[in-house]
Amino acid sequence: MESLKSDISAKIAGRQVSDAQVSGKLRQFANAWRQRHASSGGSLDAQLDYSSPAPASQRFSIRGLNMRTLQSGDKETLTLSIGGAGQPLRSVSVDPELSEEAIIQRFEHALSPANIGVSKGDAGALVFSVPETSWPATRDTFAIKGDGIRFPTGQLNRVRTEAVPAAVEPDAWQAQDVQALRQTLQQVIQALDRIKQSREVVSRALAEAASRVDRARPMDDAAGAATLAQGFASAADQPGYQIFSSTVAALLGISRDRVLSLLALGPR
């Protein structure tokens, strides 16, 4: 990413950087981004938020499900279907007199068995989250039936799910002219800032894991564990998305209970 930023900056400034060099690095990063889920062991979502041991999630909204519509009009029972035929239906009783927190709790209670989380987003929208691996099926099967107030009565109707945009969208980056290069450079800089923030989160997770290992190991192994953890942390500080995603993958599943269980297998 730093190399891509430097090449684009040089190209805009009129220095000798070939179109093929810039285009090649754009493709290289786009390919790395498409491998994000596999490279990070499913622990890095599209917003570059690190999550472990819980899997990375996809957040989305549904048109018509926001606090403005849910806190106006009459009471209504919404029937939700996720996953298509054969899956249990979920019911939510919408009462305009409820607080925002109570409305969110009702949706959470109904959808948690389907492994879908609910929170409040910008402008009062309900924001749902589902594991990335479940997103295609959720997106293609989410249907709602109402009482004719907010949603039509009768048959279940497929709703339009709108995914929260990814923090980085390299497939949209262009380099055909100076204007496109300037826009791409701005997006690259923003992506670098976001990656830096995520790397800091991962580094803290590494430090916490190293501390757990240090406390749990026998005294004669503590120095070696600290050296290993320090080397791992140093690797995480190196620039570059690929190193970052590989480090995130290494953290997948690290928890206090797992560390202690593994240490218990060693010699006493």
Domains and CATH numbers, the chain: 2-43+169-263 (no CATH), 57-163 (2.60.40)
- Tell me, what's the pLDDT at 240? 62
pLDDT exceeds 60 at position 220: no
- Residue among 174, 186, 242 nearest 9 (CA): 186
pLDDT band at 249 (very low <50, low <70, confident <90, very high): low
Specify whether the CB–CB gap between 45 and 60 falls below 8 A.
no
Over residues 57-74, the mean pLDDT reads 94
* pTM attached to this predicted model: 0.70
Could you report the per-residue pLDDT of 161-191, keeping only the tens digit for each? 999 989 889 999 999 999 999 999 999 999 8
* Range with lowest mean pLDDT among 150-164, 165-179, 181-195, 253-267: 253-267
Distance, CA of 255 to CA of 151 (rounded, Å): 43
pLDDT band at 268 (very low <50, low <70, confident <90, very high): very low
pLDDT exceeds 70 at position 111: yes
Distance, CA of 236 to CA of 210 (rounded, Å): 13
Distance, CA of 206 to CA of 200 (rounded, Å): 10
Structure tokens at 256: 């206090």
Structure tokens at 65: 């499900």
Distance, CA of 260 to CA of 248 (rounded, Å): 21
- Residue among 98, 153, 104, 110 nearest 124 (CA): 104
Specify whether the CB–CB gap between 54 and 65 falls below 8 A.
no
Beta strands across the sheet bearing 57-62: 117-120, 126-131, 57-62, 161-163
- Tell me, what's the pLDDT at 233? 65
Distance, CA of 18 to CA of 26 (rounded, Å): 13
